[in-house]
Structure formats: structure tokens, C-alpha cells
């Protein structure tokens, strides 16, 4: 099959995973994308791992039913809670997220790296393993960021409340001398302009969206190349039309989701409701 036109399913606790979807679209412009925002259950960061795992399985099954040939867990917390069990249950490629500690360690000049993330990510064994692996090379300072996900979910990317939270959470990292910040949640890249405005141009911001997109490309090329061509053929130009190329679903309010997704995606989005068994 033409792996460039594969169907890729992406899910997140809410709209933050659209930051990853942007990178996937740029890397695989002919792919059919199906995105699920689990906004009725956002944020994942303060919920039990078993709950997040159950939601992840529900959303993965839905995406597979919609024709997904690869799944991207566009959420650090859900990756930590569910990636291993998803890979055990499903045979298709499952690509997850993890805070970009390795590139941040390579980028720092001061030897101090700050991590902005949700509580769920910071408390996960997956993140603990990263700290153990790279913590001897540099000082890694972590900062939980309650409330930032909710600000992005509301579309408040530069308001006074969002600025206040960013100033509060970045201050301890700056005091410790961090010159490189890991954006450890897929919602946070949408706040990058405001973060940079608050902390200054001298701070390097690192996220993993582009690396995940490259991994998706590698996985579908290596694992889907021998499978039957997708049932969602492209047009004569090699590109599906916009409606077929990107579809959006939510477990939350469709009107609110459509408005926020349109803002973050940069095009008009009509979000559809997940079926009742997935809510």
C-alpha cells in the first residue's frame, strides 16, 4: 500500500494532541487523520492510572473501528498509563509520547533542565526511568502545572490567568538556573508564545511533536508496507479532500470542541460526538 495515505488515529485527553497532529500532517500530508479529544474526561493528569488506561482502550477500539491502521497516544500521561497494555492487546503500531529529556539534555548550556508537566506524567514510572537515565548528566527540575491544560481547553492561550499560571510555574525553574524547558504535555506547545514572552528568548523550549511524527512515518513505512491498501483512497492528486483527510471527534460538547479545535487547528473544524458506548 502507499503508506503515505495510511489512516492514523490520534487521541488525547482533550485538544492538546492537536499540537502533535500538526506535526503528523506536515510529515505525512496525504495521510487520513482521525482525532479524538476526550474532553469530557479532561484532564487525565489528576486521574488514577487504571481510569486512564480504561479510557485509552475505549478510544483505541473506536479509532480502529473507524479504520485506523496506526494509533498515536498524543498524551504523556496516557502513554505512561496505557501504552504497554495497548501494545499487548492490539497488533497495529501504537506510538506514544514521552517528555523530551534526551534532546533537552543535549540542548542545555547551564546544565539545568526544567520540566513543565502534569502531575500524572511526573509521578509515572516511565518518567522516573527517564530521570534515572539522564539525571546524572544534568540537573533536572520538575514542575507540576495544575490548571494549564484547562486554560488551553478553554482556548485561553494568552489571557491574564494563563499568564499568571505560567509565571508561577516557570519562576522556580528560572531560580534554579534552567535554560531549557521541556513542554511535557501536548497542550503546552500552544502556550509556547506566551511562555517565551514570560521567560524571555534565552530559554530553549523543547517538545516531542516533530519526533513523534517522524516515528509514525517510520512505523507505518516498516509495518504497513505489506498490508492491503487502505479503503480510503486518495484523489487523483494523491491527497484526500479536507473532509476525509481529517476527522474530529469529542466526548465533550461538540459546539465548544468545534470552536476550540478550529482555533488550534487553524481551519474550520466540525467535531462529531463519540458514540454513547465511548462516552
Distance CA 141, CA 106 (A): 16
Share of residues in the chain with pLDDT > 70 (%):
91
Which residues have C-beta within 8 Å of that of residue 72, sequence separation ≥ 6? 8, 9, 10, 11, 17, 20, 24, 95, 96, 212, 216
Is residue 179 pLDDT above 60, yes or no?
Answer: yes
Q: What is the mean pLDDT of the chain?
A: 91
Q: Is the pLDDT of residue 262 over 50?
A: yes
Averaged pLDDT, 247-259: 97
Q: What is the pLDDT of residue 2?
A: 52
Instruction: Go through the domains of the chain in sequence order and give each one's CATH number.
Output: 3-97+209-278 (3.40.50.1860), 101-206 (3.40.50.1860)
Predicted TM-score (pTM) of this structure? 0.90
Instruction: State pLDDT tens for residues 198-243.
Output: 999 999 999 999 999 999 999 999 887 655 444 444 333 333 344 4
3-state secondary structure of 176: coil
- In this prediction, residue 5 has a pLDDT band, given cuts at 50, 70 and 90, of confident
Q: 230: helix, coil or strand? A: coil
pLDDT band at 38 (very low <50, low <70, confident <90, very high): very high
pLDDT band at 244 (very low <50, low <70, confident <90, very high): low
Decide which of 176 and 5 is more confident.
Answer: 176
Task: Specify whether 278 is catalytic.
Answer: no
Quick one: pLDDT band at residue 3, thresholds 50, 70, 90?
Answer: low
Q: Considering only CA atoms, which of 143, 163, 162, 165 is closest in space to residue 151?
A: 162
pLDDT over threshold 90, residue 193: yes
Question: Which three three-digit cell numbers place residue 277?
Answer: 458506548
Q: What is the mean pLDDT of residues 129-155?
A: 93
Closest CA to 18 of 258, 276, 278: 258
User: For helices 192-199 and 160-175, what crossing angle results, to 10°?
Assistant: 60
With a CB cutoff of 8 Å and minimum separation 6, the contacts of 236 are none
Asked if the peptide bond before residue 43 counts as cis, ω within 30 degrees of 0, the response is yes
Per-residue cell: 59: 478510544
**Among residues 63, 115, 185, 278, which one is catalytic?**
185
pLDDT tens for 9-35 read: 999 999 999 999 999 999 999 999 999
Share of the chain above pLDDT 90, in %: 81
d(CA 181, CA 113) in angstroms, rounded, equals: 6
Helix (H) or strand (E) holding 13: none
Q: In sequence order, what are the residues at sequence separation of 6 or more whose Cβ sits closer than 8 angstroms to the Cβ of residue 104?
A: 113, 180, 181, 182, 204, 206
Q: In sequence order, what are the beta bridge partners of 33? A: 8, 246
Instruction: State whether the Cα torsion 42-46-47-49 is positive or negative.
Output: positive
Could you confirm whether 145 is annotated as catalytic? Answer: no
Determine which one of 18, 75, 92, 212 is catalytic: 75
Pick the range with the lowest mean pLDDT from 89-93, 146-150, 220-224: 220-224
Count of alpha carbons within 13 angstroms of residue 191, beta-carbon side: 37
Q: What span, in angstroms and rounded, lies between the C-alpha atoms of 29 and 195? A: 29
Mean pLDDT of 69-90: 96
Question: Lowest mean pLDDT: which of 78-82, 97-101, 262-266?
Answer: 97-101
Quick one: pLDDT band at residue 99, thresholds 50, 70, 90? confident
Amino acid at each position: 500500500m502507499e503508506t503515505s495515505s495510511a489512516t492514523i488515529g490520534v487521541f488525547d485527553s482533550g485538544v492538546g494532541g492537536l499540537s502533535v497532529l500538526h506535526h503528523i500532517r506536515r510529515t505525512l500530508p496525504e495521510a487520513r487523520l482521525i482525532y479524538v479529544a476526550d474532553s469530557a474526561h479532561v484532564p487525565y493528569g489528576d486521574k488514577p492510572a487504571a481510569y486512564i488506561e480504561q479510557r485509552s482502550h475505549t478510544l483505541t477500539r473506536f479509532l480502529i473501528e473507524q479504520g485506523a491502521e496506526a494509533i498515536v497516544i498524543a498524551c504523556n500521561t496516557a502513554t505512561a498509563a496505557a501504552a504497554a497494555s495497548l501494545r499487548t492487546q492490539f497488533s497495529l503500531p501504537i506510538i506514544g509520547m514521552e517528555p523530551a529529556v534526551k534532546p533537552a539534555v543535549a540542548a542545555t548550556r547551564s546544565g539545568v533542565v526544567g520540566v513543565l508537566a502534569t502531575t500524572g506524567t511526573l509521578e509515572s514510572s516511565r518518567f522516573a526511568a527517564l530521570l534515572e537515565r539522564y539525571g546524572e548528566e544534568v540537573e533536572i527540575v520538575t514542575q507540576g502545572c495544575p490548571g494549564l491544560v484547562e486554560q488551553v481547553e478553554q482556548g485561553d492561550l494568552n489571557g491574564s490567568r494563563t499568564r499568571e499560571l505560567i509565571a508561577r510555574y516557570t519562576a522556580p525553574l528560572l531560580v534554579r538556573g534552567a535554560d531549557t524547558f521541556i513542554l511535557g504535555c501536548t497542550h503546552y506547545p500552544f502556550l509556547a508564545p506566551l511562555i517565551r514572552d514570560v521567560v524571555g528568548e534565552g530559554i530553549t523550549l523543547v517538545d516531542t511533536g516533530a519526533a513523534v511524527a517522524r516515528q509514525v512515518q517510520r512505523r507505518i513505512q516498516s509495518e504497513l508496507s505489506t498490508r492491503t491498501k487502505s479503503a480510503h483512497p486518495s484523489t487523483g492528486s494523491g491527497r484526500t479532500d479536507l473532509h476525509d483527510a481529517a476527522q474530529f471527534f469529542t466526548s465533550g460538547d461538540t459546539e465548544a470542541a468545534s470552536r476550540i479545535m478550529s482555533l488550534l487547528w487553524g481551519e474550520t473544524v466540525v467535531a462529531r460526538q463519540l458514540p454513547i458506548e465511548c462516552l
